[in-house]
Amino acid sequence: MINFKDLGLVNSRELFAKAVKGGYAIPAYNFNNMEQLQAIIQACCESNSPVILQVSSGARKYANQTLLRYMAQGAVEYAKELTNGKGIPIVLHLDHGDTFELCKNCIEYGFSSVMIDGSHHSYEKNIELTRQVVEYAHKYDVTVEGELGVLAGVEDEVSAEEHTYTQPDEVQDFVSKTGVDSLAISIGTSHGAFKFKPGQDPKIRLDILAEIEKRLPGFPIVLHGSSSVPQDIVKIINQYGGKLKDAIGIGEDQLRLAAKSAVCKINIDSDGRLAMTAAIRKVFAEKPEEFDPRKYLGPARDMLKELMIHKNNNVLGSSGHAND
């Protein structure tokens, strides 16, 4: 058993309380490799923002969970190096945990926060599973994110055609019966780069968010599927041989409004994937003679970092809040 505190990590409790009060959201960025992690830490140190490092089941399979844990531990030291020893608050979070065993395993590995995503189960089963994880996690002061409502699109191996919006009438009951520290909700965001069909009004249901906030004043709310799919980045991908047709994301203005309310964690993965792909495609097209991975992964890392600084400054509003 490794306790996250011994690794220099923090759980999300205090960060969320400050974010809700301060009207901003903490960025939750997924990582699977070194370049992504470097970009996240560099961006968050430069913008003086707290950060949630997210590891999905897919990331664990791809990179190996032990390696990812040590990378996060290294990130704590790297952040200190970049900030004259001060560091920034770093949470290591399991994204979309689907079983009690997986959450338990991550907690034993030193994660400071886990998500138990029971949203595909019945309401009763979701409560039972989430409660079981909360009981275990809280023994070690690890914070837990639950989910109510189903996002459209693909979440790991599970996919849903339509959104099932979170019902505001259920949130108080769910939170009190499970004891979760934060709640992910479904209000029209979805995973991936194709969140809306052309011609659809690309709006999220901020009215449902307001209703949920009324039922749970000051309680930390989480938004998944919050990439904005920047069209300038999609354009670069397509200009250099990519084929992304009709990729549409969530408007930054809507996310900014959400971050000013009870939303205190915003999950972004796809935008980072797009940024890295754009940079790599550009190098491959312009310098076909290059074959040193540093020559294309370096620019990919730089583009990702630039994107994250922009998000922290202009979308989440988390910049400058590392030492709140």
Site track 255-284 with ligand 13P (rule: CB under 6 A), x = hit: ------------xxxxx-------------
Show the beta-strand stretches assigned E in 84-211.
90-97, 113-116, 143-148, 153-155, 158-160, 182-185
Distance CA 147, CA 120 (A): 9
Q: Which two tokens stand for residue 96?
A: 């979309």
What minimum distance in Å lies between the beta carbon of 156 and ligand G3H?
5
CB of 57 to ligand G3H, least distance (A): 6
Closer CB to Zn ion, 70 or 196, in the complex: 196
Q: Based on CB atoms, which residue is closest to ligand 13P, 254 or 270?
A: 270
3-state secondary structure at position 26: strand
Q: Which does 268 bind (CB under 5 to 8 A by kind): Zn ion, ligand G3H, ligand 13P, none?
A: ligand 13P
Applying the rule CB under 6 A, the residues between 177 and 236 that interact with ligand 13P are 191-192, 224-227
Quick one: what does residue 170 bind among Zn ion, ligand G3H, ligand 13P, none, with the CB cut-off 5 to 8 Å set by partner type? none
**Among residues 20, 37, 59, 127, the one that binds ligand G3H under rule CB under 6 A:** 59
305 near Zn ion, judged by CB under 5 A = no
Residue 308 has φ and ψ, to the nearest 5°, of: -70, -35
Among 288, 280, 287, which Cα is nearest to 304's? 280
Judged by CB under 5 A, the chain residues 192 through 251 that form the site for Zn ion are 224
Task: Choose, from 95, 98, 181, 271, the residue flagged as catalytic.
Answer: 95
Distance between CA atoms of residues 173 and 219, nearest Å: 13
Q: Please state, in angstroms and as integers, the Cα–Cα distance from residue 316 to each residue in 47, 76, 93, 261, 312, following that order.
A: 12, 22, 18, 11, 5
Smallest separation (angstroms) from ligand G3H to the CB of 169: 26
Give Cα separations from 244 to 75, 198, 275 (angstroms): 33, 13, 13
Please identify every residue annotated as catalytic: 95
**Interface contacts to ligand G3H, rule CB under 6 A:** 30, 56, 58-59, 95-96, 155-156, 191, 269
